[in-house]
Amino acid sequence: MSAPRFRPALDAIRAFQPTGRVTPPGELVRLLAANESPYPPPGAVVRAIHEQALGINRYPDNGCGALLAEISARLGVPADSVAAGCGSVGATQMLLAAVAEPGVEIVYADPSFEAYRILTRLSGATPVEVPLRDGGHDLPAMAAAITDRTRLVFVCNPNNPTGTVVAGLEDFVEQVPPDCLVVLDEAYIEYARTGDGLALARGRRNVLVLRTFSKAYGLAGLRVGFVAGHPETIAAIRTAYLPFSVNSIAQAAAIAALRSADELMARVSATIAERDRVSAELVAQGWPVTPSEANFVWLPLGDRAADLAVRCAAAGVVVRAFPGAGVRITIGTPDDNDAFLKVAGPARRPDGFA
User: Least Å distance between CB 345 and ligand PLP?
Assistant: 28
* Nearer CB in complex with ligand PLP: 119/347: 119
* Nearer CB in complex with ligand PLP: 92/150: 92
**Residue among 185, 190, 274, 293 that touches ligand PLP (CB under 6 A):** 185
Q: x-or-dash pattern for ligand PLP, window 6-45, by CB under 6 A? A: -----------------------------x----------
What residues have CB less than 8 Å from 43, skipping those under 6 apart? none
**Residue among 38, 111, 136, 225 that touches ligand PLP (CB under 6 A):** 225
156 binds ligand PLP (CB under 6 A): yes
* Nearer CB in complex with ligand PLP: 187/272: 187
Q: Using CB under 6 A, count the residues that bind ligand PLP.
A: 14
| Longest pairwise C-alpha distance within the chain | 63
User: Least Å distance between CB 157 and ligand PLP?
Assistant: 9
User: Least Å distance between CB 322 and ligand PLP?
Assistant: 13
Q: Provide the 3-class DSSP secondary structure of residue 172.
A: helix
Break the chain down into helix, strand, coil percent, rounded to 5.
40, 15, 45
Q: Which stretch binds ligand PLP (CB under 6 A): 213-221, 233-241, 266-274, 320-328?
A: 213-221
88 binds ligand PLP (CB under 6 A): yes
Instruction: Name the H helices within the chain.
Output: 9-14, 43-53, 65-75, 87-99, 114-123, 139-145, 169-175, 198-201, 231-238, 248-259, 261-284, 305-314, 334-344
What residues have CB less than 8 Å from 121, skipping those under 6 apart? 9, 12, 13, 127
35 conformational bin, left if phi > 0, alpha if psi -120 to 50, beta if neither? left
User: What's the DSSP call for residue 23?
Assistant: P
Q: Provide the binding-site residues for ligand PLP, judged by CB under 6 A.
A: 35, 87-89, 113, 156, 160, 185, 187, 212, 214-215, 220, 225
